[in-house]
């Protein structure tokens, strides 16, 4: 179960002015898109007979959790740090609609993939958004866009709700020489982190 690891003392925080400055914006989110070498992960998924997308999702959540700032959330007038991250994703259906999904994180990759696959199959037989059971405070919002090799990504953000959840998306992989590259879009609240922290995440991301 997700728990608050600590409450950030905003008064003594070295990001106090950054937090106050960007939190006053109508849209305080910034985003970057990076092409990440996924050659090895793609081959691993083939060798293990598992979903490449779910393998990538597990490694994204694992990497993000290692960067503390990805676990920061704004809750009312507080900034809190959670002890873990929960992957919440979109699950596509045959009729081209999608469902929201919350997947239980497990440090064991194959266990996570197996359980997430079963939950995806369950949701693909439903209709609507299935919002119940999602929108956890320690979530990372993830979406795969396998039809497009994008160079940028814009996410809908409900600032009236005080949203501060990072959003990560992947696009259609493409070949460049001997490598397979995967577009990875990362969108974060600028009051909580900067490009440096996104770069740390990309560096840790093991694809």
Q: Find the CATH number of the domain harbouring 108.
A: 3.30.559.10
> Which domain, by its residues, includes 63?
4-204
Count of domains observed in the chain: 1
Quote the tokens at residue 139. 């979530």
From the candidates 58, 141, 189, 190, which is the catalytic residue?
A: 190
Within its chain, how far is the Cα of 144 from the centroid? 10
* Confidence bin at 177 (pLDDT 50/70/90): very high
Q: Cα(184)–Cα(106) distance, rounded to whole angstroms? A: 22
**Percent of residues, the chain, with pLDDT higher than 90:** 89
190 as an active site residue: the answer is yes
Question: CA-CA distances (angstroms) from residue 206 to 10, 16, 56, 154?
Answer: 32, 32, 9, 24
Judged against a pLDDT cut of 70, whether residue 31 lies above it is answered with yes
* Confidence bin at 9 (pLDDT 50/70/90): very high
pLDDT tens readout for residues 66-101: 999 999 999 999 999 999 999 999 999 999 999 999
């Amino acid at each position: 179960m997700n728990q608050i690891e600590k409450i950030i003392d905003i008064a003594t925080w070295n990001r106090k002015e950054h937090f106050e400055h960007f939190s006053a914006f109508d849209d305080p989110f910034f985003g970057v898109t990076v092409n990440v070498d996924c050659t090895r992960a793609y081959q691993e998924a083939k060798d293990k007979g598992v979903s490449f997308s779910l393998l990538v999702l597990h490694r994204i959540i694992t990497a993000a959790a290692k960067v503390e700032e990805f676990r920061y959330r704004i809750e009312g007038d507080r900034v809190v740090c959670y002890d873990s991250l929960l992957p919440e994703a979109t699950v596509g259906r045959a009729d081209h609609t999608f469902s929201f999904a919350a997947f239980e994180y497990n440090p064991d990759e194959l266990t996570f993939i197996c359980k997430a696959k079963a939950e995806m199959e369950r949701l693909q037989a439903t209709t609507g958004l299935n919002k119940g059971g999602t929108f956890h405070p320690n979530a990372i919002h993830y979406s795969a866009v396998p039809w497009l090799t994008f160079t940028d990504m814009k996410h809908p953000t409900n600032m009236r709700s005080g949203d501060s959840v990072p959003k990560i998306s992947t696009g259609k992989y493409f070949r460049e020489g001997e490598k397979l590259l995967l577009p990875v879009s990362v969108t974060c609240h600028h009051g909580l982190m900067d490009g440096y922290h996104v770069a740390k995440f990309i560096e840790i991301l093991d694809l």
